[in-house]
Amino acid sequence: MQHTHNGADTGQKMSLQDLIEQVNKSDIGSLRQNVVRILSLVHNPATSAHELSDLIQTDPPLCSRILRVANSAFYGSQRHVGAIRQAIIWLGFNTVKELALSQKVFELFQNGNGLADFSLKNLWNHSMLVAVGSKLVYRREFVLSGEEAFTAGLLHELGLIIEAQFCKEVFAYDLIHQHKGNMRQLEDAILGYNHCDIGGALAKAWEFPDFISSSIKYHHTPELSPERGRRLVQTVFIADTLATRIYKEFNDEPAENKATFDACMRDLSIESEALDLLAKELEKERQILVEKGLML
């Protein structure tokens, strides 16, 4: 089902609350359970390989994506990986968890006008890079597994996915005027709120864990995020900046916010040499994502 922004018809702006209600009544709303279910499975340390494979087996698109990656050029398997249990052994438990989550988030992108829309394809590639970049920063700087960072990065532009499907006039403006400027300013002017507000409100309505809603809501303004969990928001900010440097096809804030970036670097105690290494690593990871068939 396609929706247009009420403002286009009535001259009145749809409130953020009305927008969230409309999303929840739509096909996207029906994906909520799947996303929440996979999130709790991925972030529960007690989850077993058995539970994960049970979940995957009951979900054909998920199943086929995992087998596709297991048989991709990157893993260069000599034999055909045909079963999920086998794929978990071959790829590793954590990789399969990441893939499962990515597939569920990918389905949010496919809803509505889907990936035929060029800008959504770029947005997906950007989100994958920020997910991997956030994990790299977390692992290298804090010696943590980085699972939370991956999730936060993957979902940080959730508001834009919603906007692309429900607030089409913003994207129409974007296309017609070949807008290359700051998306948040454009959104604020047209809608009265922006993709950070939309994503944050939806994450709250869907009862995502706080670390995810904060990373979505404050991904352009980490300095405003609650202190608890700010480190993760700052991590996503750094990864977002690195990702837009190496993948220029998507950038919703072309003028880099140097002051915020420097503050994040300082707060997270990341040295500039470390940043160079992270950027190189992310570039390599980008290649790997392509080989695994995870970049479009």
The footprint of Fe ion (CB under 5 A) covers 240, 252
Of the two residues 41 and 115, which places its CB atom closer to Fe ion in the complex? 115
Compute φ and ψ for 26, nearest 5 degrees.
Answer: -90, -175
Taking the C-alpha atoms of residue 260 and residue 101, their distance in angstroms, rounded to an integer, is 29
Taking the C-alpha atoms of residue 244 and residue 246, their distance in angstroms, rounded to an integer, is 6
Q: Is 170 exposed, middle or buried (0-12, 13-18, 19+ CB in 10 A)?
A: buried
Minimum CB separation of residue 243 from Fe ion in Å reads 7
Of the two residues 103 and 127, which places its CB atom closer to Fe ion in the complex? 127
Neighbour count for residue 188 (Cβ, 10 Å): 13
Of the two residues 174 and 252, which places its CB atom closer to Fe ion in the complex? 252
Minimum CB separation of residue 294 from Fe ion in Å reads 17
Taking the C-alpha atoms of residue 127 and residue 157, their distance in angstroms, rounded to an integer, is 7
Of the two residues 156 and 292, which places its CB atom closer to Fe ion in the complex? 156
What SS3 state is found at 152? helix
Minimum CB separation of residue 220 from Fe ion in Å reads 6
Nearest-10 crossing angle of helices 147-155, 230-246: 60
Minimum CB separation of residue 247 from Fe ion in Å reads 10
Minimum CB separation of residue 196 from Fe ion in Å reads 7
Minimum CB separation of residue 40 from Fe ion in Å reads 25
Of the two residues 59 and 197, which places its CB atom closer to Fe ion in the complex? 197
Of the two residues 96 and 162, which places its CB atom closer to Fe ion in the complex? 162
Taking the C-alpha atoms of residue 146 and residue 135, their distance in angstroms, rounded to an integer, is 5
Of the two residues 98 and 240, which places its CB atom closer to Fe ion in the complex? 240
CB-CB contact of 126 with 243 (8 Å): yes
Minimum CB separation of residue 84 from Fe ion in Å reads 32
Of the two residues 196 and 294, which places its CB atom closer to Fe ion in the complex? 196
Q: Return the ∠ at Cα 253 (arms to 153 and 115), rounded to 5°.
A: 60
CA distances from 201 to 13, 22, 71, 86, 152 (A): 17, 13, 38, 39, 15
Q: Return the ∠ at Cα 38 (arms to 37 and 43), rounded to 5°.
A: 105
Which letter, b or e, does each residue of 1-24 get, where b requires 16 or more Cβ atoms within 10 Å of its Cβ? eebebbeeeeeeebebeebbebbe
Single-letter code of the amino acid located at 131? A
